[in-house]
Amino acid sequence: MSQNGLLLVNLGSPASPRPKDVKAYLKEFLSDQNVVTLPKWFWQPLLRGIILPMRTWRSATFYQHMWTQAGSPLTVYTKMMTQKVQQRLTTWDVQYAMNYGGPTIAEKLKSMHQKGDRQILVLPLFPNYTQSTHDTIIEKVKVTGVPARIIKNFYDQPTYQKLLARQVDECYVKGDYDAVIFSYHGIPMSMIHNGDPYEKECKATTEATAKYLQQVPRNKIMTVFQSKFGPMPWLKPYLKNTLMELAAMGKRNVLIVTPSFVEDCLETLEENDVQNYQTFRSSGGKVFDAVPPMNASDDFCEFIAELSRQKLAVNWGACR
């Protein structure tokens, strides 16, 4: 049967929270040279000899804490999103894959091609483009030889911006907040120096969303970056440092917005809700609340479906 296809691609998750599976996942993820750009001859001995032995147990503990009976929240919500988007694109073939772990991009694309999907869109579930999330997906798509269009970002879509603004407004009115912090996943500064547009796209996301906010004063909004890894400089300001500075200034009630993460994952459930919360409280902070990610909401799934319809209508080169 000839039909259109949509492949939603997320980051991935360990097969289980057991140390063995977490180590395998981390090894694949941190061996990606689009993520860690250091030369292999230098990085691989360091990764295998020091990083993995030290990081695996700690990461496994975090995964065990957030794991649900249905599995990893990121995987659970990705499956749910796929099902909901399929319900809205009834004549399409909607599938999902993971950049690391499974199901893989290659196996899904080949299966879709064999089923007769004639025009396939690949949508990485990250609003903002960056080398460290998108380039590996693009490379894996090309290696399959299956013709497909890549939707490289969607931060600039007004519907998405309005959805995000509405979520922020709904949470903001429930408390008395001193600051509303838009916190994006960080990347190394070296990538920015090499022309990665990620920083500009993140700041543009905050600015565009702010225009649709009805309840939040502009002077309370700030943009920061989180999830720094390794000793090299990453995008600043860092979320953790900002939280300590705000508490020191007497701004003890904060609301965190995490546009980089469209679904709950390790960064939202452990890094923010546990680690950064503890940092803020120990620094004198009082209220640390977070705007939930989209988490396969009906409105977000409708947006994904409509975005896919729009992208299919343009010429093949426009989404590559």
Sorted by where each starts, the structural domains of the chain and their CATH numbers stand as: 3-155+297-319 (3.40.50.1400), 158-290 (3.40.50.1400)
Cα gap 161→184, rounded to integer Å: 15
Which tokens sit at 199?
Answer: 């920083």
Return the DSSP state at 238.
Answer: B
Query: Which amino acid is it at 123?
Result: L
pLDDT (tens digit per residue) in 258-299 = 999 999 999 999 999 999 999 999 999 999 999 999 999 999
| Residue list for the binding site | 185, 267
Cα gap 267→272, rounded to integer Å: 6
* Residue that is written with structure tokens 């905050």 in the block: 206
DSSP string computed for 253-316:
EEEEE-TT-SS--HIIIIIIIIIIHHHHHHTT--EEEE----TT-HHHHHHHHHHHHHHHHS-G
Q: Is residue 77's pLDDT more than 60? A: yes
What pLDDT is stored for residue 255 in this prediction? 98
Q: Is residue 320's pLDDT more than 90? A: no
What pLDDT is stored for residue 60 in this prediction? 97
- Residue range 175-200: mean pLDDT, rounded: 97
Please, which contacts does 234-241 make with residues 24 or more away whose CB atoms are closer than 8 Å?
Answer: 234/186, 234/187, 234/188, 234/189, 235/184, 235/186, 235/187, 235/189, 235/192, 235/198, 235/199, 238/186, 239/181, 239/183, 239/276, 240/276, 240/279
Q: Is residue 2's pLDDT more than 90? A: no
| Residue list for the binding site for Fe(2+) | 185, 267
Q: Is residue 115's pLDDT more than 90? A: yes
What pLDDT is stored for residue 313 in this prediction? 86
pLDDT (tens digit per residue) in 214-235 = 999 999 999 999 999 888 899 9
pLDDT (tens digit per residue) in 55-71 = 999 999 999 999 999 99
Cα gap 208→169, rounded to integer Å: 14
Which tokens sit at 220?
Answer: 């309370």
Cα gap 82→71, rounded to integer Å: 16
Which tokens sit at 233?
Answer: 């400089």
Average predicted confidence (pLDDT) for the chain? 96
pLDDT (tens digit per residue) in 83-110 = 999 999 999 999 999 999 999 999 999 9
Q: Hey, which bits of the chain come out as E strands?
A: 3-12, 92-100, 117-124, 148-150, 179-185, 221-226, 253-257, 287-290
- For helices 298-313 and 158-172, give the axis angle rounded to 10 degrees: 170
Give the dihedral of Cα atoms 264, 127, 100, 270; nearest 10 deg: -30
Count how many residues are written for the chain: 320
Q: Is residue 318's pLDDT more than 60? A: no
Which tokens sit at 46?
Answer: 């360091």
Q: Of 91, 95, 115, which Cα lies nearest the Cα of 105?
A: 95
Cα gap 72→17, rounded to integer Å: 8
Cα gap 50→102, rounded to integer Å: 26
What pLDDT is stored for residue 150 in this prediction? 96
Residue 120 has a CB neighbour count (10 Å cut-off) of 23
Task: Give the list of residues 6+ apart from residue 29 with CB closer than 8 angstroms, or none.
Answer: 12, 35, 100
Confidence of residue 315 (pLDDT cuts 50, 70, 90): low
Q: Do 30 and 51 form a contact (C-beta atoms < 8 A)?
A: yes
What pLDDT is stored for residue 317 in this prediction? 44
Cα gap 235→244, rounded to integer Å: 17
Q: Is residue 314's pLDDT more than 90? A: no
- Residue range 30-57: mean pLDDT, rounded: 95
Instruction: Give the CA diameter of the chain.
Output: 63
Q: Is residue 1's pLDDT more than 90? A: no
Q: Is residue 316's pLDDT more than 50? A: no
Rounded percentage of the chain residues whose pLDDT exceeds 90: 95
What pLDDT is stored for residue 319 in this prediction? 43
